[in-house]
Structure 1
Amino acid sequence: MRKLSQEALEVKRAEQAFDRKRKTVGLFGAPLLAILVFMTPIDGLTVEAHKLLSIMILVSLWWITEPVPIPVTSLIGPVLAVVTGIVKESDAFAAFANPMIFLFMGGFILAKAMMLHGLDKRFSYWLLSMSWVGSNPRRIFLAIGLASALCSGWVSNTATAAMMLPICLGLLTAIKDMMAANGRDIDLSDYKYATGLMLMTAYAASIGGVLTPIGTPPNLIMLGFLDQMANIHISFFQWMLWGAIAMVVYFAIAYVVLMKLFPADVDKIEGAEEFIAQRIKEMGSWTRAQKNTLFCFMVAVVLWVLPGFLSMSLGTTSDVLTMYNRLFPEAVAAMAGALLLFVVPVDFKERKFTIKWEEAKEGIEWGTLILFGGGLAMGSMMYKTGLSSWIGDLIVNSLGGEISQITMVAIFSVMALLLSELTSHTAATNMIGPLAITAAVSAGLSPIPVAVGIALAASLGFMLPVSTPPNAIVYATGYIPITKMLRTGVIIDFIGIAFVTIPLVVYFVTWVVG
């Protein structure tokens, strides 16, 4: 990884100064505002709802400003709810045992096993080695993006970007060597194709997350809110119906825009095929651990998608489907695949299994699970105290009382996108999700389209290095001027929201669940 440019260093210093001010303002300003809201009489709110509104203001502002770690803030909300007498202890922390938590946990363990045994790299290099890719820079660009997107549908976008980065750097080194051999010395920090390849890696890693419910936290958060607040269950298969379409179209937009802005100036990258072939050779043949991991992963995937096929073949009211859903809900399917990793042996004589707990626990993003549980807890309390209905009516009335589905989706999708550019998309979803669902219900609309719209929009954080971990990872290489990331991100965000997110969830999602 090359040394940061002067521009990047100046941007980093400015970010650090802003970050410090943001945290300081949030640390003292949020509690003061929460107290002020509590001391102000508000008509239409019960005492419990009024208290919870104050706590929600504190939690939301601390999620945005991050004076303390986001998972810590997620625990503060339920604790304060108990201390102030809003709910009982068992009710406040019930959300931390929500089945969605275990769906995520199973996904984390499976993803850790894939990374631990190199299954993700094997897939990526296999895709890059295909005959249609060759040494063509445009096709290499496409293959890198596809590998990132497809991996991040099952593995975290951060891990995917970190895995793909060395591959991209190796390919760029091959380009630099080829240019030098032809008497042309290039600076990769000013080389358009290098910038485009880095951005493609980051953007595709975020785009791929929309493919499955476990691809990125906002997906599961919104599914959890729908289940808790509207008693609506969206299956793994149903999500993938629109997740696959969203991923393909988002990806196509990103590819076209990046290729247009950052075209390759050569027709062939000499040494690219040799580079990939050498990496595949170094991996050797399939190991027992890799085969075991693939088997366990496929068990989970089959259990996840089988209800969809049963529904299509036997009907939604089939006794077989009902029994299957009772025995193998999504969380159980995830844990079944993950737990198999601990019992399928690599070397039984040595009692060595596919994964050890010491390895698995490193792959579980405990902070994300806590944040997820905290968000569900706050959403549940808002619903039970009537706070969410009050806020929902307030939003609908402020919009004139009559509001269409497309307007509802547009408003909250844009809110989710803008907020996720500045803070964690998980925290942004936790803040906006309950409000959107209750506003939709108050307006007499289905909450499903707006929930899906928020989840999809939250994954479109492409403007700033701080927007997503993949952005930060590739920006650290020094190959991406901040102005180019900002310009490119604005273009893709706008096209994605206006021509994909809103039409997709308003029309296709409504048709699927209708």
Structure 2
Amino acid sequence: MQQDNKIKKQQIIGMLVSIAIVIIMYFMPAPADLGVAGWRTISILLVFLILLVTEAFPAGVICIITLILMPVLGAVPSIGDGFTGFANPVTFFILASFGISAAIAKMPIAHRILLVIIRLLKGSTRGIIFGIMVCTALFSSMVSNIPTTAIFMGIALGFLDIFEDEDEKKRTGKALMIAIPVSAMVGGVMTPAGSSLNLLVIGMLEQMTGITVSFVQWMVFGIPLAIVILPAAWLIITKVYHPADMDPDRLKAYVNTLNTHDKMDIKEKFVILVTLIMLVCWIASSWFPVFNVTMVALCGLFCLFLPKIGALTWDEFVKSVSWQVFFLVGTVLTLGTAISANGIGNWLVASFMPEQMSITGPILIAICGFIGFAMLIVVPVAPAFIAVLAPAMISVAANCGYSPAILMIILGICAGNAYLLPLDTVPMITYSKGFYKMSEMPKSTALIQVILVVLMAVWFPLAGSIVGFI
């Protein structure tokens, strides 16, 4: 009951503060160098963030309130301009990704890959954790982080049932339940298809600057980063949480539970074929614009509905879609467009930063990375986090004479690796199982984030020169 009262008080405070912000900023004169539309956009952005953080309403309802306020308060010229984010291809890519994830989850593909890795690693507990992390990261490079985490959490829970000693199960479970969301988020940086956040920053970059980041260009930044950070994360997690060793006979029994039918049925083969074709087309899109990333995803989704060989029904697709995510991304894209059109990013940078800065390269990247992770604590909702920082990142890049594409990729990677605390949706999935406390996660993940920033600072200037951003 106390918790319910606390939540209600938090919601009431969020609503009252939001109403106060709208009233005060509506009647307060706008800064001369910003304009009324920009000032009103800032007030709407603040309301959006406060309502999300205080959970005053469900996220989808908050998005509806935001979309209503934009034309009413004059942040956008017309009602049609208040819905531009939902016409963005990114929103439809996200819809398609939910269906593709649902089809893959129905098939025993994950179990087959995990079985091969366990056999290759000869099967110690730490080896199995590494195998699960690798599988999770590989899946997450093509599939949304949330369903990937849910799939491999189920596999990990089956593995944990082998431990009879409660302390051993708890220690091993703690390591696994932290390793899985970390791996999903790390894998999500490998390709633009790995996370809707990647597509979100790419879309906002193109809207605000006209610069396009191709599928392969993103991979040049993301894949080497993931290859290095994943084993580093495994070492840190297993050192910090000390998973228990396992009896060889019990390991053998677990391997037997992973055994699936010797032969794949036609539906599993078809899902693999469609996924591989999509991957090839996404890579080819870097040279052949006809292979648009969203169009490829939609075509792949359509194929999964085909009778007899398809693995997905319409009802399964509808159930798989997170409409909350759909509304969040569409609303954030709309806000991002308004922020850019009304010059808010440039105003913030001009007001709080020097007109010209000589910082470039690794130092600038490291500063942006650490600021990004620090801001995630204040704004733990990744789409909102991107909406707040994207215009500022682009303005900072302009002031420093640096590539805005690189700083936006950093922004996407920071948003997609929000595991300092289990506040993001992805780590919240495993946190809900009770194997670790909120205070236990930073013991490993804080160091992982520091290493990630250092790696970006070292690798991204070279990657930028390889793909032509520098």
TM-score by length of 2: 0.90
The correspondence of residues 348-367 of structure 1 with structure 2, limited to 5 A, is 353-367=310-324
Corresponding residue number in structure 2 for 1:331: 294
Residues 471 and 133 of structure 1: CA distance in aligned 2, closer, same or farther (over 3 Å)? same
Corresponding residue number in structure 2 for 1:209: 188
8 Å CA contact 2:356, 2:400 repeated in 1: no
* Worse-matched range after superposition: 246-255 or 272-281: 272-281
* Worse-matched range after superposition: 473-482 or 286-295: 473-482
| Partner deviation per Cα, 1:421-466 (whole Å, 9 max, x = no partner) | 462222222222222223322443321121111111122322323x
> Which one has the largest radius of gyration?
1
Residues 509 and 62 of structure 1: CA distance in aligned 2, closer, same or farther (over 3 Å)? farther
Corresponding residue number in structure 2 for 1:428: 385
| Partner deviation per Cα, 1:470-502 (whole Å, 9 max, x = no partner) | 4223333333244332322222222222x2233
Residues 198 and 163 of structure 1: CA distance in aligned 2, closer, same or farther (over 3 Å)? same
Q: Which of 63, 70, 95 in structure 2 is aligned with 1:74?
A: 63
In the alignment, is residue 383 of structure 1 matched against residue 330 of structure 2? no
The AA in structure 1 aligned to 2:225 is A
Residues 20 and 213 of structure 1: CA distance in aligned 2, closer, same or farther (over 3 Å)? farther
| Partner deviation per Cα, 1:319-353 (whole Å, 9 max, x = no partner) | xx4xx31x22111111111111123x326xxxxx4
Residues 302 and 274 of structure 1: CA distance in aligned 2, closer, same or farther (over 3 Å)? same
Shift of 1:156: 2.5
Q: Which of 151, 161, 167 in structure 2 is aligned with 1:187?
A: 167
8 Å CA contact 2:344, 2:391 repeated in 1: no
Residues 123 and 24 of structure 1: CA distance in aligned 2, closer, same or farther (over 3 Å)? farther
Corresponding residue number in structure 2 for 1:91: 81
Corresponding residue number in structure 1 for 2:44: 55
Question: In the aligned structure 2, how far is the partner of 1:396 from the partner of 1:506?
Answer: 23
Classify the secondary structure of the residue corresponding to 1:478.
Answer: coil
Q: Which of 441, 445, 458 in structure 2 is aligned with 1:489?
A: 445
In the alignment, is residue 166 of structure 1 matched against residue 123 of structure 2? no
Classify the secondary structure of the residue corresponding to 2:253.
Answer: helix
8 Å CA contact 2:25, 2:43 repeated in 1: yes
The correspondence of residues 22-61 of structure 1 with structure 2, limited to 5 A, is 22-41=10-29, 42-61=31-50
Residues 188 and 472 of structure 1: CA distance in aligned 2, closer, same or farther (over 3 Å)? farther
Shift of 1:111: 1.4
* Worse-matched range after superposition: 154-163 or 287-296: 154-163
In the alignment, is residue 127 of structure 1 matched against residue 89 of structure 2? no
8 Å CA contact 2:71, 2:78 repeated in 1: yes
Question: In the aligned structure 2, how far is the partner of 1:484 from the partner of 1:385?
Answer: 42
Aligned length: 466
Corresponding residue number in structure 2 for 1:154: 142
Residues 470 and 77 of structure 1: CA distance in aligned 2, closer, same or farther (over 3 Å)? closer
| Partner deviation per Cα, 1:35-61 (whole Å, 9 max, x = no partner) | 323333222122222222222222233
Question: In the aligned structure 2, how far is the partner of 1:19 from the partner of 1:238?
Answer: 44
* Worse-matched range after superposition: 223-232 or 265-274: 265-274
Residues 407 and 373 of structure 1: CA distance in aligned 2, closer, same or farther (over 3 Å)? farther
| Partner deviation per Cα, 1:249-284 (whole Å, 9 max, x = no partner) | 221221111122233453754321332223324x56
The AA in structure 2 aligned to 1:441 is A
* Worse-matched range after superposition: 383-392 or 13-22: 13-22
* Worse-matched range after superposition: 328-337 or 429-438: 429-438
In the alignment, is residue 136 of structure 1 matched against residue 124 of structure 2? yes
CA RMSD after TM alignment:
2.7
Corresponding residue number in structure 1 for 2:463: 508
8 Å CA contact 1:154, 1:212 repeated in 2: yes
The correspondence of residues 284-363 of structure 1 with structure 2, limited to 5 A, is 285-308=263-286, 321=287, 324-325=288-289, 327-343=290-306, 345-346=307-308, 353-363=310-320
* Worse-matched range after superposition: 444-453 or 48-57: 48-57
8 Å CA contact 1:175, 1:270 repeated in 2: no
Corresponding residue number in structure 1 for 2:231: 252
Shift of 1:290: 1.1
Question: In the aligned structure 2, how far is the partner of 1:111 from the partner of 1:270?
Answer: 34
8 Å CA contact 2:103, 2:271 repeated in 1: yes
8 Å CA contact 2:149, 2:181 repeated in 1: yes
Corresponding residue number in structure 2 for 1:64: 53
Classify the secondary structure of the residue corresponding to 1:174.
Answer: coil
Corresponding residue number in structure 1 for 2:91: 101
Shift of 1:230: 0.6
8 Å CA contact 1:112, 1:363 repeated in 2: yes
Residues 403 and 111 of structure 1: CA distance in aligned 2, closer, same or farther (over 3 Å)? same
The AA in structure 1 aligned to 2:308 is V
The AA in structure 1 aligned to 2:228 is V
Corresponding residue number in structure 1 for 2:436: 480
Shift of 1:402: 4.8
Question: In the aligned structure 2, how far is the partner of 1:91 from the partner of 1:118?
Answer: 44
Q: Which of 410, 426, 434 in structure 1 is aligned with 2:366?
A: 410
Classify the secondary structure of the residue corresponding to 1:328.
Answer: coil
Shift of 1:132: 1.9
Question: In the aligned structure 2, how far is the partner of 1:78 from the partner of 1:170?
Answer: 43
Classify the secondary structure of the residue corresponding to 2:353.
Answer: helix
The AA in structure 1 aligned to 2:71 is V
Corresponding residue number in structure 2 for 1:182: none
Question: In the aligned structure 2, how far is the partner of 1:285 from the partner of 1:417?
Answer: 45
Residues 103 and 478 of structure 1: CA distance in aligned 2, closer, same or farther (over 3 Å)? closer
8 Å CA contact 1:175, 1:269 repeated in 2: no
Question: In the aligned structure 2, how far is the partner of 1:14 from the partner of 1:144?
Answer: 39
Question: In the aligned structure 2, how far is the partner of 1:15 from the partner of 1:161?
Answer: 28
Shift of 1:18: 6.5
Shift of 1:305: 0.7
Shift of 1:296: 1.5
8 Å CA contact 1:217, 1:368 repeated in 2: no
Classify the secondary structure of the residue corresponding to 1:234.
Answer: coil
Corresponding residue number in structure 1 for 2:425: 469
Residues 22 and 55 of structure 1: CA distance in aligned 2, closer, same or farther (over 3 Å)? same
Classify the secondary structure of the residue corresponding to 2:308.
Answer: strand
